[in-house]
Amino acid sequence: MPKVKAYYGDTAKDQGIGLHIDPQADLQELLDAWQPLCDQTAFTKQYASNSDQSCRACTHNCCDTAYVIPDIIAFKKMAAHLNFSPAELVDTYFQPEKRNIGLLRMLPNPCVFLKEKLCSIYPVRSLICRFYLCAPMQGSTEQLIYLLSSTGMAATHVYARQNGILEPPGGAISSMDRLFLELFDQYCADPLLEHFLKAQDYCDIPLKPFMDSSGFINK
């Protein structure tokens, strides 16, 4: 029996995507439950060409303008998938101007990995891409996903700094960039970060600590 179930609540109290999670579940099990939502047509997708279509049929591709910072698991998988070292990956596929101020953002407008409206690294894409749906989520679910994604991105920056791939923040910084840098500084001090830094894959990351920290409530 699956340890994670995703559902769509359509009542005034439970409007949006929700989750029921066994405390023994891991992040991979959450991703396995989340993936089918991309093809669901039973709920409204706010920015889709047609509000009830699947993501794969959408022509309003969110990858065209996305601000993508990969989590540490995806970052390492991307490098291995492309047969690059982490430093080579950053040199080739990340914005130099963002790197100069201490951020790792993939080349955008559109995403550097978007080819003919399709993701060319789909099996190793980032958590922020895996979780993104232009559909409402229940508050408890949204907080959990936000915490997981943000902690994973912060772990990438810790790893990159520890390995000499990324310099400390500096120079002129936009308000959006400052927001990310301050967020990562906040998460770098969180013990949850170690779950990502020690993990080899998403199945190595338990959900329970993140559920507790985010105040997740099973429905």
pLDDT tens by residue, 26-50: 999 999 999 988 777 666 666 666 6
* DSSP bridge partners of 206: 26
How high is the pLDDT of residue 57? 59
Q: Model-level pTM greater than 0.85? A: yes
Tokens 């591709």 belong to 61
Distance CA 76, CA 197 (A): 11
pLDDT tens by residue, 78-105: 999 999 999 999 999 999 999 989 999 9
Q: Report residue 61's pLDDT band, with 50, 70 and 90 as the boundaries.
A: low
Distance CA 43, CA 83 (A): 39
Average pLDDT, the chain: 88
Q: Is the dihedral of CA 181, 182, 185, 191 positive or negative?
A: negative
Question: CA dihedral in degrees (145, 150, 153, 155; nearest 10)?
Answer: -110
Q: Name the residue among 112, 185, 108 with its Cα closest to residue 150.
A: 185
Q: Report residue 141's pLDDT band, with 50, 70 and 90 as the boundaries.
A: very high
Tokens 């914005």 belong to 95
